Amino acid sequence: MRIELCDVTKRYGSATALSRVSLTLEPGQIVAILGPNGAGKTTLLRLLAGIAGPDHGDVLLDEVPFDRNNFGMRRRIGFLPDFPALFPEESVLRNLAITLRLYEADSPGAETRVLDLLEALDLLPLIEMPAETLSRGQAYKVALTGLVAAAPELWLLDEPLASGMDPQGLAVLRREVRSAAARGSTILYSTQLVELAEDFADRVLVIAEGAIRAFGTLSELRAAAGAPEGADLATLFSKLDGSRR
């Protein structure tokens, strides 16, 4: 899926969360959105998920304006917030069944795929447990299972590498993200940790105060910052976001 944001602005009351953002993302990319608290990272993800709409500008999916009321378009997108929303009184298995039904992904073979993921994430012993009894990391694993099984074209992940998952869960996340990108899906994930952008993303989007400071590969960001080829991302970020560190 090709994603375009054209001069997008989003306000909450008198506060501007995003200011005239323009961006194009091609299929098969893994993009880290890097910025401090309040930079606009989550707002950007929510706009792309259709949870919020822009006050100005357009969001295009494959050159078609994104209609938040078009459930066919929404099914092409998977959004995983930092605290995933599950049905608290429903079991793990029931939550996953609901997710697959909403995405119309409950086709033959889906059950095997879900079971494989549950095993890889060490969730099989918990499948009959109500979601409200799960830890944050376990709940994130359940939501991740649903996202991977639904296989959307656009993955939107809010702080996934600070989700409370154990190393086993993080390893599965990295594996599945790489696999989805290889199939042509586009993945955007937010983080405040520069080292988690440096070793996992194909491209980095630096955002601060609701505006894009830079977007590109590490080599391109180094060139934009006038930094030498060996400069690390932390150094680049301090230059590109205009902070004084």
* pLDDT per residue as tens digits for the range 176-215: 999 999 999 999 999 988 887 888 899 999 999 999 999 9
Does 226 or 156 have the greater pLDDT score? 156
Residue 100 is predicted with a pLDDT of: 95
Task: Give the three-state DSSP class for 165.
Answer: coil
d(CA 67, CA 41): 21
Instruction: Please tell me the least confidently modeled range out of 47-56, 101-110, 114-123, 181-190.
Output: 101-110
What is the reported pLDDT for 244?
39
Q: What is the pLDDT of residue 243?
A: 47
Contacts of 141 (CB under 8 A, 6+ apart): 121, 122, 123, 165, 169
Beta strands in 100-149 (DSSP E): none
Q: 221-225: long-range contacts at Cβ-Cβ below 8 A with a sequence spacing of 24 or more?
A: none
**Is 106 a residue whose pLDDT tops 90?**
no
pLDDT single digits (tens) 141-167 = 999 999 999 999 999 999 998 889 999
Contact between 96 and 149 (Cβ < 8 Å):
yes
The answer to whether 51 and 42 are in contact (CB under 8 A) is no
For Cα atoms 164, 168, 174, give the angle at the middle one, nearest 5 degrees: 85
- Global pTM value: 0.92
Q: What is the pLDDT of residues 10-68, one digit of tens each?
A: 999 999 999 999 999 999 999 999 988 899 999 999 999 999 999 999 999 999 999 99
